[in-house]
Structure 1
Amino acid sequence: MNEKAVSDYTKLITSQHRNKEKFIQMLEEVSSPMVGFFNFFATLNSKYDVDTANDPYLETLARWTGTPLIIPGAAIEEYFGFSDQENALTFGETDDPTVGGYFRESGQSGTGGLVPKGELLRRLIKAKILQNKSTGCLIETKEILTLVLDHDQFKVIDNENMTVTFKNLYPQFTKTHKILVQLFFPLPSGVQLIIEE
């Protein structure tokens, strides 16, 4: 939709009133806020288009659709440790708190929430929209999981005993992928999901 201007409306004034300056000024004053609203609403749809939206509109779309903005347990936190431990950091620097990690307590998992951004969040929103209207059939499930995982190298098998098996065929299948499959798999009530890596 083309952007409107006040002149688009004042040029519609009939010849009878075209020379009345106060009348034209009053119409300009009254129509100016309305034109601003029309232009704002015309661009609003494009800001919330899932294919083109950026932050903060993408985050708002995630909230509207119920897409998780934090994926619990999917991010490995860095902590103070030894050189042979994954994600271990040095002890730290007293003059630079950004260097080094914290002490991980006994029994602490070392994972936190992953905050999806950019294209990952866009794909998750699209997957959540599909999940929200899904009937749970295998074709819909494969479409949802293809968006979530960003590949289609997996099988979804109906075991016909109130269980469904997800079988990964992709060379890499991380804990994050497993959590995403669990979050977005559209399971009918009473059906159990089995994940095979």
Structure 2
Amino acid sequence: MSISKYIDLITSQHKVQPKFIAWLSSPLNIVNDGINQSKKLPDDFDIDKAIGVQLDTLGEIIGRSRYLPFQPTAGISPVLDDENYRIALKAKIAQNQWDGTIPQIYEIWESLFDDVRLMIVDNQNMTMAALIEGTLSTTARELVASGLIIPKPAGVGLQIIEVTDVDSQTFVGGLVTGTEIITIYTNTPA
């Protein structure tokens, strides 16, 4: 909104009165500022653009706190930074809209981690396994391991297996204790 279109409506005998123009412009500028600010609100609370307190407000609406319900390993703070909190919020939104199918799990995963591959295996015994191929950040690994990323039906167990390529001539297998992620190292032939 521009106040000039309202100022232009002033009759000619009052247009030459600077005090009247200033008096009329003052409340119009206040309203104009409020309208301009309200037009920015959708962008301010867009999940891809929001930062800090704006993300916290979105988290309250979505139902996911910035504070993790567990203490992460390796001395990482249980308070998520904006980037990882955005991932956790997007995952929560996707979980709330999940239709219960494996293909949609892949869609959710690709929207969160487009450079890391996921494969879901339904074990047909009320358990499923998620094989993750690629490199996740430590915090992202913690989010996945704690069940905050991959949706699953109630009562179904989930085992998460992370497959990582290493440059070595020997095969090494390892189990990371203290988390639900089993890490399998495979070598890439030179």
TM-score range, shorter chain: 0.5 to 0.7
The reply to whether residue 50 of structure 1 matches residue 44 of structure 2 is no
Gaps of 5+ in 1: 78-111
Q: Secondary structure in 2 aligned to 1:39?
A: helix
Q: Say if 1:8 and 1:75 are closer, same or farther in 2 by CA, change over 3 A.
A: farther
Q: Which amino acid aligns with 1:165?
A: A
Gaps of 5+ in 2: 162-181, 183-190
Cα deviation for residue 23 of structure 1 reads: 6.9
Which portions of structure 1, spanning 4 or more consecutive aligned residues, are displaced by more than 6 angstroms? none
Which residue pairs with 1:19 in the alignment?
A: 13
Contact 1:10-1:24 within 8 A present in 2 as well: yes
Q: Over the residues paired in the alignment, what is the CA RMSD in angstroms?
A: 3.1
Q: Distance in 2 between matches of 1:50 and 1:26?
A: 40
Q: Secondary structure in 1 aligned to 2:119?
A: strand
Task: Give the TM-score normalised by structure 2.
Answer: 0.65
Q: Distance in 1 between matches of 2:151 and 2:67?
A: 19
The reply to whether residue 189 of structure 1 matches residue 154 of structure 2 is yes
Which residue pairs with 2:63 in the alignment?
A: 66
Greater RCO, CA 8 A, separation 6+: 1
Q: Say if 1:7 and 1:56 are closer, same or farther in 2 by CA, change over 3 A.
A: same
Contact 1:62-1:125 within 8 A present in 2 as well: yes
Which residue pairs with 1:9 in the alignment?
A: 6
Q: Which amino acid aligns with 2:30?
A: P
For residues 44-92 of structure 1, the C-alpha deviation after alignment (integer angstroms, 9 at most, x for no partner) is: 1211122222223223223322233122222433xxxxxxxxxxxxxxx
Contact 1:75-1:176 within 8 A present in 2 as well: no
Report how many aligned residue pairs link the two structures. 157
Q: Say if 1:45 and 1:157 are closer, same or farther in 2 by CA, change over 3 A.
A: same
The reply to whether residue 76 of structure 1 matches residue 70 of structure 2 is no
Which residue pairs with 1:41 in the alignment?
A: 38
Contact 1:148-1:180 within 8 A present in 2 as well: no
